[in-house]
Structures are given as structure tokens and as C-alpha cells.
């Protein structure tokens, strides 16, 4: 039974999507069914956590079945500690997004909720896949629902947003396909647990570009502002909270674990890109004219920080990166959903037209304030724990990186406080009418669990940082049984 | 007294059945009462293609060892049988797609007769084992296709399409014939095997002949730079004919190209691999870039078929066993996607009564959910996205190129695919993402015309497109046993 648990985690949302598309349900039930499926998915994940043995570094809860033996491709899924946490992030944020869409009531619910569930299933699949071709299949499959969700239900400039998004992503992922073909044929198998390491720089770059586009890292972020602004709020939440983590996961599971040599050689260029993204993203977030712009560019900055952790190439940095992935996923999802809620009340996200929303709206003020404060990494928050680990890790690579990182944290405080004050404080803006309500019960039921997760992680960050990666006896970090560690 | 060779009727059965059906349907055209002609002729053609498919499968099962039959005129092996089965399946689906077309009643039986005749010609063509039967088969199905292109004389551009195809096709045939003559002159042999075995060290006559034969076949596969007729003929021909041409002709032409190059010209491999790779790159470049600017969906798909000819020539250029499997595997989802996509275009055309463009496709996905979702799957399949066989096909093609050591060919393929994303997704965008004010609903009002035969055909294509993603192993096994008939 527990062998099939990851398969269930992948298949349940996909089956739910099919049911929503095809079952002749009355229209109002569609959204409820989809939300129910997404909540059951969370329960399945909780069960998986219960069955997972954190002490062992082995791949768990997985199965392996032949897909086509011709080229050694198999259906092989399973989870390691860090992938389990990322799957958890996916299902929790997915459930929040589904519930929010149910509350908002999207047009053409069959297609909408079907695609949303499909996205959740495909993302869970990426985190569980242990075969490169399967990984790629799920990686590309994520793009299909995202493309339609943005293109059909997005804002006014959605067509341009989808085109840039797709062109960037497809270009990156096809380079990865070429790299996968070459790497897999060189190794004689596409099974990640059986392939050895490779020292080929070109293959590493093929993977790295795909992940850098998906993350995004500067200068591959051209698709980001449009896509995050034009999507429906819950899609933007999933895109920045969960889908961007796929890229960080890919760096961790493939680019670093399978290409230790090139990862070492390209460490400095990648850290430079991450630094630029970190500073540039923070500055843009500070200058952004609307709520979503702030969150979108802060996402660029945070992905830079996570990349810092990944390429710090030591225990501290990696632990911090995994923790920060989950942190940022939860924070970003919450902030995008809150942005959606604010936009529904004021009919705009322009910071110049907002303001003074705290007065008479205590729930909104409390939730936004709490999330914002966690996001700017005040001490005792989970982000503080994550960012501290990352900076401590990257400090060992050179103090200059840590200085840039620390400066960016100051910038994070600037843009986050600007966001909070522009929405909640100052004089009420022209778009904020006294009739704009406080958060309703259902909305609170969506965001409060996310904030509760963040608070729980703030209390016990080691839940993730101490239960993600397995230490090899000699003290070097070994992510997976097959990795060769870092040089 | 002339000695008659032993005739292996079973080996010839797929093409014989289709030819026989074509003859019977011509009788239906004159003998059956007018209102009965359409159902009778369609049922006859459908039965013929089903029988040909069954016979081809039986032939594959009973021909484990490659051999030649009928005085070495045709091959009896699994490579030919699998290609025949594919051609017959394409024909069967084409019958389903054709049924709802508003044909002039007096020509409807002739239409199905020609379709069966074209199928029979292709079935003969793919098993040709010498240059004579090769040319015979080529002309057999080409003449049927010329008439099919021009059959709907009410359709603007149909006659023009037929004429263009006739003239350019005749040039292609003449090129092939000249090439065959030069090869014969150089080696004194007609049979593929014997040409390959004949002593000829880098004979310039042979090389010239090889180039001309390759060019002649590339005309039929509509690979650049021999593709000029494709957009016009595909756009002008009745859409079900286009569907059949784009799938079955490509299957036949590519299967024969690979077989001919591998069996007749193994000593010139160092030359033709480069030539084929060059044609592949040209097709990918021309097809993808030209498709970007098209508004007419049939024309867009025509250029997409040019680019796919290039894609499927990548495994041919690889010239290894993996390439053989890759080509045969890729042809299966490709045919399904191509037939299905043109089928959906035909449905919209019947609804609107005029040519389908990206503009008047607006809102189609929401009006006709099944056809819209199917079209979506076909476009993603062409693009090589997962959950369709197109993904595995691209993966195999790249693998074959890598095994040959040509990673640059992978890069060209990747670049072509990136460009193609723009126009394939433009179709999806046109169907689903237009503003409500831009929507052009069916002009007649009310619900769109019901066309169960077309829906069944598209559903079949969708099942193959998606199914070939999951059931890779059985299809690859079939392709492997077929490819083992060729010498590598």
C-alpha cells in the first residue's frame, strides 16, 4: 500500500481533473468536487508523512514499472525527504488555490477546475519522478494548464503574457530535452537512481538554462512580470509559490547531484546571476506600482536567494535552501491570494489608489501584516531561519556573497514595509470605499491555514531543515543514495 | 511459351483488395441508384481499408523472415506490412472524415473508388523491391491523388490544386525515373538488393542517379526544397483528401525512402546521410518559418507537414537501427495527429461554409468541446508535448541522431520545435482565448451540424495520439521487428 502512495499523490488530482471534465455533474458541484479532491490530496500527503522514515536516506513510498525498455525508460516514482516537503507545499498551496477559486467562482468551472487539478497533479509528479523522461513529461505537462489558465481566465494583456511565458519556457525545456537524450543514452538508462555523474559542461548548461528560466533567475525573467500580473490570483499564487520551486528542485536533484564537476565550475557565474537577481529584483519590487508587482519581483529576488543556498554547496546552504523553498512558497501563495482579495475589494492593485485598508478591517490587516513580517525575515520567523542558514552557508564561499545577501534582506524589509503601509496604512486611497468589507469567513479559512503553517515553521524550522537531506557518515552532504556529493 | 513466375497472392493481398474495391465502387457509381451511392460507396471503401489493414497485420504476423516475392518484384516483410497497415488505417479514417462532406452526388462513388485506388497504390509502393515496381506504385497512387485533389469542381482552388499537383508531381516522377535510369545504367541492376551488391566504387553516374531518386521521393514526402506544391495542393484540395495525403502519402514516401537508401545504396551511406540531413534541416527551417505567418489553417498545417517531413528525416539521416524504429514509431502518432487536425478543420469548414482561418476559428473550442479538445491534443502532439505520442516520437528521433553522433541535428530539431510552438499554440489561442466580441459563432444559428462519422474518426485519431504515449513498448516492438527486415 505505502509503495503506491506517491502514485496516488500524482494520480488523484489527475483523476479528479478527468472526473471534473467528463462527469455529467451539475455545474455548481464542479467546484466543490475539485476542492474536495484537493483537500483529500492534503490528507493523503499527511498520511505519507506519517509513513515516511526520515532517518533513512533511501527513496521511499515509490514504485518502479517498465515504460519502454528499448531505451531504459521506466515509470519510477518515489520521494526523498526534501521532495516530500515540496510535494507538501504543492498540495497545501494547491488546496488553497482551489478553495479560493471555488470562493471566487470562476467562469467555465469544468475547464477551470480540471486544469487546476491537472496542474497540481503534474507538479506533484515532477517532485516525485525518478526517471528523467518522466520528470520531463511532468515538467512539460505543467505548462499546458498554466498556458490555458493564464490565456483564458487572465487579465487584459493575457495573450502577450502567455506568448512570452510559453516561448521562454519551451525554449528552456527543449534544451533540457536535448540534454536528457544525450545524458540518458550516455548512461544507458534514464533512471535517476541508477545514472552516474557526468562531467559534461554542455549537458549541465542544458539543464541549468531550463531551470533558470523556470525559476526565474536574472536575466531569464522576461516572462515573469506579465505572467504574474495577468494570471488569476490563485494561478499566480501557484506559479510563484510552487512552480518556481520545480526549478530549484531540478537544480538540487539533477543539475547539482548529477553534474558535480560542472556545478563546481559554474558556481561563480551562477552565484553572480543569483546576486544580480537578488538585488535587481528587490529594487524592482521597491519600485513596483502595484501589489502583484511587488510580490512578483520579490519572487525573483527570493529565487536568487534560494540559488545562493543551492550553490553554496555545503550543509548549511542546502538546508537553508530547502527550508526557504517551502517558506517562500507559502509566503508567496498567501501574498498573491491576499492581493487577489484586495483587488476584488478595490477593483485595482495600484498602490497609489490603495491605502488605509487597516481601518475597520482587522482581519485583513492582521493576516497581511503577519505574512509581510515573516516575508521580510524578522528574527524568530521561519524566513529568518532559512535566510540565516543560506547566508551562513554562502559566507563559507566568500564573505562578499554574504554581504550582497544581507544587503538584499534590508531591501526586502524596504519593499515589504512599503507594500504593507501602502495597502493598510496612510490615508484611504480613492479606490478604497468604506463599503469594502473585511476578509470573510471563507477567505480567512483559506489564508489562515497557510499563515498557520508559516507560524508553525517559525516555531520549529528544523522540521524541514533537519528532515530534508540525509547526512552521509563522513559529514559530507549526500542528497540521495546515488549522488557523489560536492567537490 | 513465357514462363510465369510463382505469384504469392498473400503478399500482394492488401493492394489487391483495395484495387478490387476500387473497381467495385466504379460499378456502384453507375449501377446503384443515386441516393444509395454515397452510403454504399463509403461502406465499400471502409470495408476495403479494414480488410487491407487486417491482411497487412496478418502478413506481418506470417512474414517473420524478410523475403522477396513475385519474381523479386515486391518485398514480403514486416517493414512493408507495417507501412501497409498504417496506410490502410489512414484510409479508413479518411473515409470516416469524408462521409459528411457535401459532395456532388454524381461523383461520390468515384471519390471513394479513387481513395481506395490510391490506398492500393501506396500499399504496392511500400513493398516495391525494384526500381520498376517502385515507379509503377508511385504513379499508381499519384494519378489517383491528382484526380482526388481536383474532384470537387465546385470548390474554389480545387482544380488549381489538382493541376499544380499534377505538374509538379509529374516533374517529381520524371526526376525519379531519370534517377532510376541512371542507377540502372551504372549497375545494370533493378532490384534494390542487387544494386546494393553490384560492384561500383563511387561511380559518379550512380551518385547522380541516387540524388535524382532521392529528390523524386522527397517531392512525395513534401520535404524542402521539393515542397513548393504542398501549401497550394493542401489548401485547394477537399479537406478529407488533404488529410489522407498528409498522412498516408508521407508514411509511404518515408518508409520507401528509408528502405531504398538502406538496401540499394549502403555503400554510398557517407553521402546520402548528409544529403538527407541537409533536406531535413531545410524542411525544418522552411516549414516552421513559413507556417509562422499563415492565417489559413489548412495552409498552416501544410507547412507544419513540411516541417514534420524534416523531423522524420532526422532518423532516416541517422541510418541506424534506432532510426528505423524511430521513423516507424513516429509515423503512427504523426498520421493520427495529421488526420485528426485536418478532420477538425473539415468540421469547422462544413459549419461555416468557407475556408477556416485563425480568425474564424475563434470560439470554436467552447462551441464544440470535443473537437476543440481533440484539436488541442493534436497541436500539442505536433509540438511534441507529453501525453501525446508526438513527445515520444521526438525523443526517439533525437536519440537516433545522437546515436549517429550528430548532436547538431538535435539542436536543429530543438530550434525548429521552439519556432513551431508559436504557430501551434496560435491555433489553440484562436480556439479558446479570443474576446467574446471576436467570436464568430456558426452563422446558421442553433446547434452545429451533427457529423457522427467525423467525430468517430477524430476520436480514433485522438485515441491513437494519446494512446501511443502510454503504450510505447508494444508499438516499439512492432517497429523493431519491422526494422529488422532492413540491413543495418
Q: What is the pLDDT of residue A477?
A: 47
Q: What is the pLDDT of residue A484?
A: 41
What mean pLDDT is predicted for residues A364-383? Answer: 92
What mean pLDDT is predicted for residues A132-153? Answer: 93
C-alpha distances out from residue B381 to A105, A158, B318, B387, B391, Å:
32, 24, 23, 8, 7
Return d(Cα A369, Cα A367) in angstroms, integer.
Answer: 5
More confident residue, B445 or B183: B183
Name the nearest CA neighbour of A144 among A25, A17, A320, A9. Answer: A17
What mean pLDDT is predicted for residues A93-122? Answer: 93
CB-based contact (8 Å) between A162 and chain B? yes
C-alpha distances out from residue B269 to A68, A197, A234, A451, B312, Å:
30, 35, 56, 66, 18
C-alpha distances out from residue B182 to A35, A474, B232, B259, Å:
70, 72, 31, 19
Q: What is the pLDDT of residue A481?
A: 43
Give B368→chain A minimum CA distance, Å. Answer: 13
Q: What is the pLDDT of residue A133?
A: 93
Q: What is the pLDDT of residue A62?
A: 87
- With CB atoms and an 8 Å threshold, state whether B421 touches A182: no
Return d(Cα A457, Cα B1) in angstroms, integer.
Answer: 97
pLDDT at A482 over 50: no
Q: Are A359 and A296 in contact (CB under 8 A)?
A: no
Name the nearest CA neighbour of B458 among B362, B377, B365. Answer: B377
Residue A473 confidence class, pLDDT cut points 50, 70, 90: very low
Could you give the ipTM of this predicted complex? Answer: 0.91
Q: What is the pLDDT of residue B136?
A: 95
Average pLDDT, chain B: 91
Residue B486 has which C-alpha cell?
532492413
Residue A277 confidence class, pLDDT cut points 50, 70, 90: very high
- A344-354 pLDDT, tens digit per residue, is 988 888 888 89
CB-based contact (8 Å) between A44 and chain B? no
C-alpha distances out from residue A214 to A87, A140, A211, B388, Å:
17, 11, 5, 23
pLDDT at B351 over 90: no
pLDDT at B468 over 60: yes
| pLDDT more than 90, % of chain A | 66
Return residues 314-343 of B near A (CB < 8 Å).
325
Q: Are A282 and A376 in contact (CB under 8 A)?
A: no
Q: What is the pLDDT of residue B97?
A: 94
pLDDT at A73 over 50: yes
Return d(Cα A334, Cα A178) in angstroms, integer.
Answer: 36
Q: Diameter of chain B by CA atoms?
A: 79
Task: Specify the pairing of strand A60-68 against strand A73-79.
Answer: antiparallel
Q: Are B255 and B219 in contact (CB under 8 A)?
A: no
- B451-460 pLDDT, tens digit per residue, is 899 999 999 9
More confident residue, B259 or B201: B259
Return d(Cα B332, Cα A30) in angstroms, integer.
Answer: 36
Q: What is the pLDDT of residue B446?
A: 56
Q: What is the pLDDT of residue B22?
A: 96
- B74-101 pLDDT, tens digit per residue, is 999 999 999 999 999 999 999 999 998 8
To the nearest 10 degrees (0 to 180), the angle between helices A132-153 and A109-128 is 150
**What radius of gyration do chain B's Cα atoms show?**
21
Residue B230 has which C-alpha cell?
504542398
Residues of chain B contacting residue A119, judged by C-beta atoms under 8 Å apart: none
- With CB atoms and an 8 Å threshold, state whether B380 touches A137: no
Whether pTM exceeds 0.80? yes
CB-based contact (8 Å) between B429 and chain A? yes
Return d(Cα A351, Cα A308) in angstroms, integer.
Answer: 31
Residue B216 confidence class, pLDDT cut points 50, 70, 90: very high
Return residues 166-205 of A near B (CB < 8 Å).
166-167, 170-171, 174-175, 177-178, 181-182, 185
- With CB atoms and an 8 Å threshold, state whether A68 touches B476: yes
How is residue B446 annotated by DSSP? S
pLDDT at A47 over 80: yes
Q: Read out DSSP for A329-384?
A: HHHHHHHHHHHHHHHHHHS--BGGG---TTTT-HHHHHHHHHHHHHHTT-TTSHHH
Phi, psi of B68 (to 5 degrees): -110, 155
Name the nearest CA neighbour of A240 among A303, A291, A286. Answer: A303
C-alpha distances out from residue A130 to A46, A127, A205, Å:
21, 9, 20
- B102-141 pLDDT, tens digit per residue, is 777 778 899 999 999 999 999 999 999 999 999 999 999 9
- With CB atoms and an 8 Å threshold, state whether B429 touches A151: yes
Q: Hey, how many other C-beta atoms are within 10 angstroms of the C-beta on B288?
A: 25
Return d(Cα B212, Cα B209) in angstroms, integer.
Answer: 5
pLDDT at A402 over 60: yes
Residue B54 has which C-alpha cell?
487486417
**Least CB–CB distance from A182: residue in B407, B428, B480:** B407
Q: What is the pLDDT of residue A471?
A: 61
Q: Which residue has the cell 476542492?
A: A35
Q: Read out DSSP for A54-87?
A: TT--S-EEEEEEEEEGGGTEEEEEEE-HHHHHHH
Q: Hey, how many other C-beta atoms are within 10 angstroms of the C-beta on A193?
A: 16
Name the nearest CA neighbour of A211 among A307, A94, A313. Answer: A307
Residue B63 has which C-alpha cell?
512474414
pLDDT at A159 over 50: yes
Q: Hey, how many other C-beta atoms are within 10 angstroms of the C-beta on B58?
A: 15
Among A442-456, B103-117, B238-252, B286-300, name the one with the lowest average pLDDT.
B103-117
What mean pLDDT is predicted for residues A3-19? Answer: 93
Who contacts B75 (Cβ-Cβ below 8 Å, separation ≥6)? B66, B67, B68, B69, B127, B128, B129, B259, B485
Q: What is the pLDDT of residue B441?
A: 53
Who contacts B267 (Cβ-Cβ below 8 Å, separation ≥6)? B196, B200
| pLDDT more than 70, % of chain A | 96
**Least CB–CB distance from A152: residue in B380, B410, B432:** B432
CB-based contact (8 Å) between B432 and chain A? yes
Residues recorded for chain B: 488
Q: Where are the alpha helices (DSSP H) in A105-131?
A: 109-128
The sign of the dihedral angle between the CA atoms of A146, B291, B339, B108 is positive
Q: Hey, how many other C-beta atoms are within 10 angstroms of the C-beta on B452?
A: 11
- A311-342 pLDDT, tens digit per residue, is 988 888 889 999 999 999 999 999 999 999 99
Residues of chain B contacting residue A151, judged by C-beta atoms under 8 Å apart: 429, 432-433
Q: What is the pLDDT of residue A71?
A: 86
Average pLDDT, chain A: 90
Name the nearest CA neighbour of B253 among B361, B154, B121. Answer: B121
How is residue B3 annotated by DSSP? P
The sign of the dihedral angle between the CA atoms of A333, A338, A343, A345 is positive
What mean pLDDT is predicted for residues A17-42? Answer: 91
- Domains of chain B, by residue range, sit at 9-483
Closest residue in A to B391 (Cα–Cα)? A137
- With CB atoms and an 8 Å threshold, state whether B422 touches A133: no
Phi, psi of A225 (to 5 degrees): -60, -45
Amino acid at each position: 500500500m505505502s509503495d503506491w502512495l506517491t502514485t496516488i499523490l500524482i494520480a488523484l488530482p489527475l483523476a479528479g481533473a478527468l472526473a471534473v471534465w467528463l462527469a455529467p455533474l451539475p455545474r455548481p458541484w464542479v467546484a466543490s468536487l475539485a476542492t474536495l479532491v484537493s483537500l483529500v490530496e492534503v490528507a493523503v500527503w499527511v498520511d505519507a508523512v506519517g509513513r515516511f522514515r526520515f532517518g533513512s536516506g533511501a527513496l521511499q513510498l515509490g514504485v518502479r514499472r517498465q515504460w519502454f525498455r528499448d531505451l531504459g525508460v521506466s515509470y519510477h516514482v518515489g520521494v526523498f525527504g526534501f521532495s516530500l516537503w515540496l510535494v507538501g507545499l504543492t498540495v497545501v498551496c494547491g488546496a488553497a488555490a482551489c478553495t479560493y477559486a471555488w470562493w471566487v467562482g470562476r467562469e467555465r468551472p469544468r475547464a477551470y477546475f480540471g486544469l487546476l487539478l491537472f496542474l497540481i497533479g503534474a507538479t506533484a509528479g515532477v517532485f516525485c519522478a525518478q526517471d528523467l523522461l518522466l520528470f520531463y513529461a511532468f515538467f512539460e505537462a505543467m505548462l499546458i494548464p498554466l498556458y490555458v489558465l493564464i490565456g483564458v481566465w487572465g487579465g487584459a494583456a493575457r495573450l502577450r503574457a502567455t506568448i512570452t511565458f510559453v516561448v521562454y519556457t519551451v525554449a528552456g525545456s527543449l534544451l533540457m530535452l536535448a540534454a536528457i537524450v544525450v545524458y540518458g543514452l550516455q548512461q544507458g538508462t534514464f533512471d535517476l537512481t541508477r545514472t552516474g555523474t557526468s562531467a559534461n559542461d554542455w549537458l549541465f548548461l542544458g539543464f541549468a538554462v531550463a531551470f533558470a528560466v523556470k525559476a526565474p533567475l536574472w536575466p531569464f525573467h522576461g516572462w515573469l512580470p506579465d505572467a504574474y500580473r495577468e494570471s488569476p490570483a490563485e494561478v499566480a499564487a501557484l506559479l510563484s509559490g510552487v512552480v518556481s520551486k520545480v526549478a530549484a528542485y531540478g537544480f538540487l536533484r539533477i543539475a547539482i547531484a548529477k553534474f558535480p564537476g560542472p556545478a563546481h565550475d559554474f558556481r561563480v557565474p551562477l552565484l553572480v546571476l543569483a546576486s544580480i537577481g537578488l538585488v535587481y529584483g528587490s529594487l524592482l519590487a521597491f519600485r513596483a506600482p502595484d501589489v502583484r508587482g511587488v510580490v512578483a519581483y520579490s519572487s525573483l529576488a527570493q529565487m536568487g536567494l534560494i540559488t545562493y543556498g543551492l550553490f553554496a554547496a555545503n550543509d548549511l546552504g542546502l538546508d537553508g535552501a530547502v527550508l526557504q523553498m517551502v517558506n517562500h512558497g507559502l509566503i508567496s501563495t498567501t501574498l498573491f491570494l491576499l492581493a487577489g482579495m484586495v483587488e476584488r475589494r478595490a477593483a485595482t492593485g495600484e498602490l497609489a489608489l490603495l491605502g488605509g485598508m487597516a481601518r475597520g478591517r482587522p482581519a485583513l490587516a492582521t493576516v497581511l501584516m503577519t505574512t509581510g513580517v515573516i516575508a521580510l525575515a524578522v528574527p524568530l520567523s521561519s524566513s529568518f531561519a532559512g535566510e540565516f542558514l543560506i547566508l551562513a552557508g554562502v559566507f563559507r564561499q566568500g564573505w562578499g556573497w554574504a554581504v550582497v545577501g544581507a544587503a538584499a534582506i534590508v531591501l526586502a524589509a524596504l519593499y515589504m514595509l512599503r507594500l504593507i503601509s501602502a495597502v493598510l496604512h496612510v490615508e484611504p486611497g480613492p479606490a478604497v470605499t468604506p463599503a469594502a468589507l473585511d476578509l470573510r469567513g471563507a477567505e480567512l479559512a483559506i489564508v489562515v491555514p497557510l499563515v498557520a503553517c508559516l507560524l508553525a515553521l517559525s516555531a520549529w524550522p528544523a522540521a524541514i531543515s533537519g528532515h530534508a537531506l540525509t547526512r552521509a557518515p563522513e559529514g559530507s552532504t549526500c542528497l540521495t543514495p546515488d549522488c557523489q556529493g560536492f567537490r | 511459351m513465357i514462363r510465369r513466375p510463382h505469384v504469392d497472392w498473400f503478399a500482394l493481398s492488401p493492394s489487391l483488395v483495395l484495387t478490387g474495391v476500387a473497381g467495385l465502387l466504379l460499378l456502384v457509381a453507375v449501377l446503384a441508384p443515386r441516393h444509395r451511392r454515397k452510403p454504399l460507396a463509403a461502406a465499400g471503401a471502409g470495408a476495403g481499408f479494414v480488410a487491407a489493414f487486417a491482411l497487412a497485420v496478418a502478413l506481418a504476423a506470417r512474414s517473420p523472415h524478410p523475403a522477396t516475392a513475385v519474381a523479386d518484384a515486391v518485398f514480403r516483410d514486416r517493414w512493408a506490412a507495417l507501412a501497409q497497415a498504417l496506410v490502410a488505417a489512414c484510409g479508413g479514417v479518411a473515409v470516416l472524415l469524408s462521409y459528411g462532406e457535401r459532395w456532388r452526388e454524381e461523383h461520390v462513388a468515384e471519390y471513394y473508388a479513387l481513395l481506395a485506388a490510391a490506398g492500393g497504390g501506396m500499399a504496392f509502393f511500400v513493398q516495391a523491391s525494384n526500381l520498376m515496381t517502385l515507379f509503377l506504385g508511385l504513379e499508381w497512387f499519384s494519378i489517383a491523388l491528382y484526380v482526388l485533389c481536383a474532384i470537387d469542381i465546385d470548390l474554389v482552388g480545387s482544380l488549381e490544386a489538382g493541376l499544380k499537383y499534377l505538374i509538379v508531381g509529374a516533374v517529381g516522377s520524371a526526376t525519379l525515373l531519370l534517377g532510376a535510369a541512371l542507377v540502372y545504367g551504372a549497375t545494370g541492376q533493378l532490384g534494390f538488393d542487387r544494386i546494393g551488391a553490384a560492384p561500383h566504387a563511387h561511380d559518379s553516374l550512380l551518385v547522380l542517379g541516387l540524388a535524382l531518386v532521392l529528390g523524386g521521393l522527397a517531392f512525395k514526402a513534401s520535404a524542402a526544397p521539393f515542397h513548393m506544391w504542398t501549401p497550394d495542393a493542401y489548401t485547394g484540395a477537399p479537406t478529407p483528401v488533404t488529410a489522407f495525403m498528409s498522412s498516408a502519402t508521407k508514411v509511404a514516401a518515408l518508409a520507401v525512402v528509408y528502405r531504398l537508401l538502406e538496401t540499394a545504396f549502403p555503400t554510398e551511406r557517407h553521402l546520402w546521410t548528409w544529403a538527407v540531413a541537409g533536406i531535413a534541416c531545410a524542411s525544418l527551417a522552411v516549414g516552421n518559418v513559413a507556417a509562422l505567418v499563415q492565417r489559413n489553417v489548412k495552409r498552416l498545417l501544410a507547412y507544419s507537414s513540411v516541417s514534420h517531413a524534416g523531423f522524420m528525416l532526422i532518423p532516416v539521416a541517422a541510418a541506424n537501427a534506432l532510426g528505423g524504429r524511430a521513423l516507424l514509431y513516429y509515423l503512427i502518432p504523426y498520421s493520427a495527429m495529421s488526420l485528426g487536425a485536418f478532420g477538425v478543420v473539415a468540421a469547422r469548414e462544413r459549419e461555416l461554409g468557407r475556408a477556416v482561418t485563425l480568425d474564424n476559428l475563434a470560439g470554436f473550442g467552447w462551441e464544440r468541446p470535443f473537437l476543440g479538445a481533440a484539436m488541442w491534443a493534436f497541436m500539442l502532439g505536433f509540438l511534441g508535448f507529453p501525453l501525446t505520442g508526438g513527445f515520444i516520437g521526438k525523443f526517439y528521433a533525437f536519440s537516433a541522431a545522437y546515436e549517429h553522433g550528430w548532436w547538431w541535428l538535435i539542436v536543429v530539431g530543438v530550434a525548429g520545435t521552439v519556432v513551431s510552438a508559436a504557430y501551434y499554440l496560435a491555433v489553440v489561442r484562436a480556439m479558446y482565448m479570443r474576446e467574446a466580441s471576436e467570436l464568430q459563432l456558426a452563422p446558421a444559428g442553433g446547434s452545429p451540424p451533427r457529423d457522427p462519422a467525423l467525430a468517430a474518426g477524430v476520436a480514433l485519431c485522438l485515441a491513437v495520439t494519446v494512446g501511443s504515449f502510454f503504450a510505447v513498448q508494444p508499438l516499439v516492438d512492432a517497429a523493431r521487428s519491422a526494422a529488422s527486415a532492413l540491413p543495418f
